[in-house]
A and B are shown apart, each in its own frame.
Chain A
């Protein structure tokens, strides 16, 4: 066979990526082992090893245990369970297959989600004797959530129910109802015996009543979804120089197609241009489709950086808020307000979960409210990003609607998420004025900033802030002291001291402070603000460097000794409920810009330190 013969023989061979899932005893490993074995993928030395291992670990008597072909890591072979997604490869003359094998034990959510994110189809295994189990429903639900568009129910172990047509029919009917309830329109049910090979790759006499294809036959012919239709989308990965004058923008086409001469628009800047060149991995081409890695050049100079999305047709939404389905992957719990790095497409931006709307209980498949998320939890959440990024609903684009959250300390991937609803930055069209914050700040010869004083009641926040205001005012700075108590008598007089009201109190305070900063002012805000999450949320409303946190660190004993307003006495007497430090928690800042220990300094010294810090940060001139 020469090169041309080879190329023509391979024309039209595509790849189907599918996942397999099922409960521990459904025979999943045996099924995959058989698919690999019967499509000629297993080498003799591997089979010899399996035969040897079967003697020690096997469960099939004298025959080689095909499930052992799949085991990978030392400890899980000893445990007899698979604990991670394993990837398998096989092919037939018609199609190539990449199998994501997701284990069925307790840690399934994380593994299932990983496998599903890479799959176009899911094969769900059930034991014909047991029928659909809770686990089957769970697996189907996760596959549907992750956007796996096609399901195949493989009813295994038909040999153990005497190849009974009625038994299969009952399971298939039940499955039809399940698929319908999950909104999955494309599904099939196929009876088989992985152990004996009936209807896996070869039709079986014993299943002669079944008129559908074998499992392999189905996998070879099922339609593979194409992303080539729909509006063109390209998340920009990087920039290369094509020649002295021209820059090329690299990326993989997430959706649609692009041709030289096409008009495109940038999501971030809204600028429009025409495509001058489409360079694929084969060189200059007339047109490229979704899935291709390309470099684009334009008819004009553009300022495009990594994280931009080039699009055509309907504009790509820019959003800093969205509702998303989150799969929590980390052993560390998720708390609302904690800041993570969000990666979506090629953009990376700090983000936090504002609220957990509801958590899916994996045992009961019901939704319930939750305060935190633990590993393997799935929840609908509200996300707040520190800056708008291009995004789409996951339903419209996996590549622009699927994201991960990254731990800022150790870089671990702690969650995978799917954008469900976008609150586009353009929903409220703000009037863009010619005189902006920078212009106002320049006139005032200062950098607007919010200095956030946090600490217990009676810690000395207002005392210190008052002195800071006097010093700045004397210097000719435009400064305003925003006091929590003052705000509570006006704007926030409808709010109490329960947790939800405290969150809203801080949100409004931060919003008022933000407006004042827009006006060019340096704002000093004094709020107990006991929850880290709320302070983090306030911080995220500001650009980097504009929000400065000052922790007025006075122990609760000292505060109650001072008790300037007599509140501690009443709190200890039980007259005030939810009193921070007494009957409600205070979460001290982990990394404030400045910490003031008031036991060792006078209020005047503390104020001097705040002013010095503002000078050091360039907020006021040196």
Chain B
């Protein structure tokens, strides 16, 4: 799927998407004007694809004026890594890849511990190392109940920790990035987007996404009701009697393959995915093992510095 590299002047977006796009571009430009060292946290997923596209359009025809950071757990789907490197080449990104040297195996550690070390801690390490004072993330308020109150600018203390009491009310288009010494901010330009908006935008803008979002026959193991796609049979932590069977599946959100559940689907094109999403009855995070903890797990992870 080729991306439109030059902007043609043709107005394609419906009014509601054009407004979301303009508001996000405004936020991205504010951060570049006010922050000393901004960085974009790139997760390779569909939201990241939209975020990158917004950054590109915010500064076109100039290049995106900040680096892009990927936290690689070494357990991402192979297709994600290929897509990441291809995207970096295509857009001429300044791509930074960071991995926590602990290199934990998700089959050998419990999910919470693994996620904390390989994602949360790794992210803090990379932000500290790069001396980044503002980090763009692709989180949306409609993802999770605990995110409904997230600000566009989330203020973090010196240890990247999040404190609900320190968060600021936000007014109009005014973006306040100031922090006490040593602090930093996370900025979420997609706050007001919904999952539907993301897919509509990808469709309208004809954006490339990782092929895993489209249904295909993939080797699947059903574990505790979750469809695990075996991305690397050699590294799979097989249980007794388990074996993979080919199923038509796709993903609604992407992460580490041992922790990301697929959904049964026949939607093999972007258009079919959008149609299916509109009719969906289960939330996109319903497939993620890491969110299956007690109801407030996301909030707890956020306090510890997870996105």
Contacts and interface: CB of A to CB of B under 8 A. Distances in A.
Interface of A: 1-3, 6-7, 10-15, 43-46, 49, 53, 69-74, 84-89, 91, 96, 98, 110-111, 113-114, 117-118, 237-238, 240-243, 250-252, 279-285, 291-293, 306, 329, 341, 343, 346, 398-399, 402-404, 406, 409-413, 416
Contact of B283 (A12, A45, A87, A242): A45
Contacts of A53: 295
B234 to A, nearest CB: 33
Given A3-B204, A88-B148, A406 B176 contact: yes
Given A15-B16, A238-B29, A281 B21 contact: yes
19 contacts: A3-B271, A10-B200, A11-B15, A13-B15, A14-B19, A44-B281, A71-B145, A72-B147, A73-B146, A89-B192, A91-B196, A114-B169, A237-B29, A280-B11, A282-B8, A285-B11, A341-B178, A343-B174, A398-B172
Q: Which of B173, B206, B283 has the most CB of A within 10 A?
A: B173
Nearest to A307: B33
Contact of A70 (B15, B19, B62, B148): B148
B76 to A, nearest CB: 25
B169 A113 contact: yes
Interface in B107-133: none
Interface in B212-228: none
Nearest to B167: A84
B67 interface: no
Given A6-B274, A252-B26, A406 B282 contact: no
Contacts of A412: 168
Nearest to B14: A10
Given A69-B145, A406-B176, A410-B179, 18 more contacts: A7-B12, A10-B17, A11-B14, A13-B16, A15-B19, A72-B299, A73-B149, A84-B149, A89-B142, A111-B169, A114-B171, A237-B26, A238-B29, A251-B29, A252-B173, A402-B174, A409-B180, A413-B169
A346 B15 contact: no
Choose among A117, A118, A280, A293 the residue with the greatest number of B CB atoms under 10 Å from its CB: A293
Contacts of B17: 10
Interface in B256-285: 271, 274-275, 280-283
Which 3 residue pairs are nearest across A and B when measured between Cβ atoms? A283-B7, A411-B178, A10-B14
Contact of B16 (A96, A242, A243, A410): A96
B12 A329 contact: no
Contact of A45 (B6, B203, B282): B282
A243 B62 CA distance: 8
A111 B171 CA distance: 11
A167 to B, nearest CB: 34
Contact of B192 (A87, A240, A399): A87
Which of B13, B141, B174 has most A Cβ within 10 Å?
B174
A238 B271 contact: no
Contacts of A329: 169
B238 interface: no
Contacts of B13: 282
A14 B62 contact: no
Nearest to B61: A242
B3 to A, nearest CB: 14
Contacts of B179: 410-411
B25 interface: yes
B164 interface: yes
B111 to A, nearest CB: 18
Given A237-B26, A238-B32, A250-B29, A14 B194 contact: no
Interface in B161-185: 164, 168-174, 176-180, 183
Contacts of A3: 203-204, 206, 271
Contacts of B12: 7, 282
A44 B26 CA distance: 35
B176 A346 contact: no
Contacts of A111: 169
B145 A292 contact: no
Given A11-B14, A43-B280, A293-B26, A403 B174 contact: yes
